[in-house]
Amino acid sequence: MTNRVTVLGSLNVDTTLRLARMPQPGETLLTENKTSAAGGKGANQAVAAARSGAQTRFIGKVGNDEAGRFMVESLTDDQVDTSAIITDETVGTGSAFILLDEAGQNSILVYGGANQQVQAAEVAAVEDEIAQADFLITQFETPQAATLKAFTLAKQHGVTTILNPAPAATIDPAILKVTDLVVPNETESASLTGIPVTDVASMDANAKRFLEMGVKSLIITVGSKGAYYATPAGSGFVPAFKVKAVDTTAAGDTFIGALSSQLKPDLSNIETALTYAQRASSLTVQGLGAMPSIPTYAQVQAASQA
């Protein structure tokens, strides 16, 4: 059965600047290369879900500019339903500037633009689209008031909610109470729970703290090591695939989108879905750019059999 995934999130045009190393404060460096591509955490997650076979919809905002038209076109090219993307006349489309060094590590500067203008009332207007989903995913590149409205509506319709609390932020506690699955990396998890992630025992402690805050299920992504999961049925750790990373941009977004395409709404196949998501993410980091490097279902299957 094909999963139906709706993403409420950000749409950014990413400009990547390649450097030998990161600049020091006050230092000027020459870049080795400059490229632009469609991106934004929300858009990346939606494309990852769609390329892995999910029927995907997007809720978000762009400016009335060339960048906005480019973002909508990019999602449409990947068969993402863009009918719930609104054009804002007051601000420009979101953008991100990515500094990428030779080791494949990145630093990212984000201009929120239209992403920051998504209103709770606009989310309420697409309740029917939310109701038809199996999963609703969001991140923190759009306002938390919109997230709370979307998740509240999703729960009323029995839709499984997935929160990617990135970038790390102070979170409205009400959001966690309507979150089924929270997917932070180790830094984001520690910032939300106050418990540093160092080993499995500390991950178990993070899961317990999230449960106290209202979230029954947790996945912590731990970069090249793998991913920890905890659900009411049990917990475990799924190791990552060892590859040479060229560009880690969108690795986490690919993971979440790919996961949502394979996961059952009751999370009963979480280990299988996690393994698939890890494989998809391992392919993303081997390519340059965010969206261009996100693999298809066929590419993930081929890599699994290689």
Residue 221 labelled as part of a binding site: yes
| 25-32: long-range pairs with CB below 8 Å, 24+ | none
The encoded tokens of residue 181 equal 């699955």
CA distance linking residue 293 with residue 14, whole number of Å:
13
Buried/exposed code over 162-172 (b: 16+ C-beta within 10 A; e: otherwise): bbbbbeeeebe
The span from the CA of 164 to the CA of 8, in Å, is: 11
User: For 48-105, how does the pLDDT look when each residue is reduced to its tens digit (9 = 90+)?
Assistant: 999 999 999 999 999 999 999 999 999 999 999 999 999 999 999 999 898 999 888 8
Do residues 44 and 291 touch, judged by C-beta distance below 8 A? yes
The catalytic position among 78, 204, 253, 266 is: 253
Q: What is the mean pLDDT of residues 28-33?
A: 92
Residue found under tokens 């920051």: 116
Q: Which residues contact 168 (CB under 8 A, 6 or more apart)?
A: 140, 184, 187, 188, 191, 192
The answer to whether 249 is annotated as binding is: yes
For residues 125-151, average pLDDT? 97
pLDDT for 108 equals: 86
CB neighbours of residue 56 within 10 Å = 30
| 253 counts as catalytic | yes
Contact 71, 78 (CB under 8 A): no
CA dihedral 137, 139, 142, 145 (to 10 degrees): 70
State residue 109 phi and psi, 5-degree precision.
Answer: -110, 130
Q: Is 287 annotated as a binding residue?
A: yes
Q: How far lies 278's CA from each of 10, 120, 126, in Å?
A: 23, 33, 32
Helix 270-284 to helix 251-262 angle (10° resolution) is 150
Superfamily of domain 4-21+33-296: Ribokinase (3.40.1190.20)
Is 95 within 8 Å of 70 (Cβ atoms)? no
Q: What is the mean pLDDT of residues 191-195?
A: 95
25 cis-preceded (ω within 30 degrees of 0): no
CA proximity to 274, closest of 232, 240, 225: 240
Instruction: Give the mean model confidence (pLDDT) for residues 265-271.
Output: 96
Q: Is 158 annotated as a binding residue?
A: no
pLDDT of res. 248: 79
What does the pLDDT read at residue 229? Answer: 97
Average pLDDT value for residue range 35-59: 96
In this predicted structure, what is the pLDDT of residue 63? 98
Among 294, 258, 291, 260, smallest CA distance to 276 is for 258
Instruction: Tell me if 234 is assigned to a ligand binding site.
Output: no
Convert the pLDDT of each residue in 211-251 to its tens digit.
999 999 999 999 888 999 999 999 999 998 988 888 777 89
* E strand map for the chain: 4-8, 12-18, 33-39, 55-63, 81-88, 94-100, 106-111, 135-138, 160-163, 181-182, 217-222, 226-231, 234-239
The CA-based angle 292-112-51, given to 5 degrees, is 25
194 is in an annotated binding site: no
